[in-house]
Amino acid sequence: MIYVFRKISLPSAAKGPSSISHRQFKNFNRNRFRSDILAQPWVNLMGIDNPIEMWLKWKSLFSEVCDLHAPLRTKHVRASKSPWITPERKNLMYRRDRLKIKALRTGDPSDGSNFKKLCNEVNNAIKNVKKSYYYKTFETYNGNSRKTWETINEVTRRKSVKAAINELELNGARTTNSTEIAEGFNKFFAETGSDLSRDIEEVGASFCEFVDQTSSCFSFQR
């Protein structure tokens, strides 16, 4: 069979949770797999002249055995990595996971104590470096309200919902024309100020009389 390898670059994943498919080899038996592969009717490929059809048939026969011995499973993964997880933190997390496996396998109280100790160390390390990361981020975006609120939404895991308006009622009639919808919104917001002002009763007083002065100031604390 003629084949080729090609290195390709994949587009960056979108933000938010994603999923990947992988094969489960927990109950994989190599001898049974080889036996079932050999039992497939590969001879049927010899009568196919079209290489594409031959490849699809071969793939179908091979995948049939793979799905039986190593079924596909789907799991959710984070599409974007946490920027504060450094190689040092990853190594610490790896040691923590190994200690957990050891503690579960041996049941030794000392192994369990070592795991809990390292687990607390990992949690504190991640909490501190995450705090430092967002502090520097807020400092970088100081004065940029849009970026600041994007960061706040990221911290609080708030998702912005964008609703598409495909239909609008104008002067008693409904329209789906995008230009007419845009003009309708423009007219509404351009005239809403003057329309509201006509309905407000003149009181002959300054707005300062209704606003209490305050010395409070809003700021982010480290």
**DSSP, residue by residue, 188-218:** HHHHHHHHHHHHSPP----GGGGS-------
Q: Specify whether the CB–CB gap between 45 and 58 falls below 8 A.
A: yes
Q: Specify whether the CB–CB gap between 60 and 3 falls below 8 A.
A: no
Q: Specify whether the CB–CB gap between 126 and 89 falls below 8 A.
A: yes
Could you tell me which residue, 60 or 84, shows the higher pLDDT?
60
Long-range CB contacts for residues 20-23, cutoff 8 Å, separation at least 24: 20/74, 20/75, 20/77, 21/72, 21/73, 21/74, 22/72, 22/73, 22/75, 23/66, 23/70, 23/71, 23/72, 23/73
Would you state the structure tokens that stand for residue 94, as one six-digit string? 């790896």
Q: Give me the pLDDT at residue 60, please.
A: 93
Taking 60 as the threshold, does the pLDDT of residue 10 lie above it?
no
Q: Specify whether the CB–CB gap between 21 and 73 falls below 8 A.
A: yes
Report the 3 state secondary structure along 93-156. HHHHHHHHHHHHHHCCHHHHHHHHHHHHHHHHHHHHHHHHHHHHHHHHCCCCHHHHHHHHHHHH
Q: Give me the pLDDT at residue 67, please.
A: 92
Q: What is the mean pLDDT of residues 158-173?
A: 77
Taking 80 as the threshold, does the pLDDT of residue 210 lie above it?
no
Q: Give me the pLDDT at residue 81, please.
A: 63
First-to-last CA distance in the chain?
A: 62
Q: What is the mean pLDDT of residues 32-46?
A: 92
Q: Which residue has the tokens 């309905």?
A: 199
Q: Percentage of the chain with pLDDT > 70?
A: 88
Cα(77)–Cα(19) distance, integer angstroms: 5
Q: Give me the pLDDT at residue 77, please.
A: 65
Summarised one tens digit per residue, pLDDT across range 94-141 is: 899 999 888 888 888 998 899 999 999 999 988 888 888 888 888 898
Q: Give me the pLDDT at residue 41, please.
A: 93
DSSP H or E run through 18? strand 17-23
What is the pLDDT of the chain when averaged over all its residues?
83
Q: Give me the pLDDT at residue 157, please.
A: 72
Taking 70 as the threshold, does the pLDDT of residue 82 lie above it?
yes
Q: What is the mean pLDDT of residues 174-178?
A: 87
Taking 80 as the threshold, does the pLDDT of residue 19 lie above it?
no
Helix axes 30-39, 51-69, angle to 10 degrees: 150
Q: What is the mean pLDDT of residues 30-54?
A: 92
